[in-house]
Amino acid sequence: MPAFVARQAPGLAAEYGFWQNTLWKGFHQGLIGHGIIALALNCRQLVREGRGDRGRYQALVSRPGAAGPAIHALFDVVANQLAMGASYVGHLRGIARHLGSVMEGDDLTRFRAIMATMEGQLDAASECLVGNLLAEGGPIVVAITDIGLAAGGNGAILTARGIVQIGPAVARPSPVPADVLATARLALDWWAGAEPALRQAAQLILMIDRLADATARQSFAMDTLAAIRNDCRQVCAMIDTGPPDQWADAGLRRLADWADAMMRIEFAEPVSRQIPG
Q: What is the pLDDT of residue 277?
A: 62
- Per-residue pLDDT tens digits for 166-200: 666 655 566 778 898 899 889 889 988 888 899 88
Mean pLDDT, the chain cut into blocks of 10 residues (277 residues total): 89 94 90 89 93 90 83 91 94 91 89 90 70 59 73 58 63 72 90 89 91 89 89 88 82 90 77 70
pTM, rounded to two decimals:
0.80
Rounded Cα–Cα distance for residues 27 and 35 (Å): 10
Mean residue pLDDT across the chain: 83
Q: What is the pLDDT of residue 156?
A: 45
Q: What is the pLDDT of residue 80?
A: 94
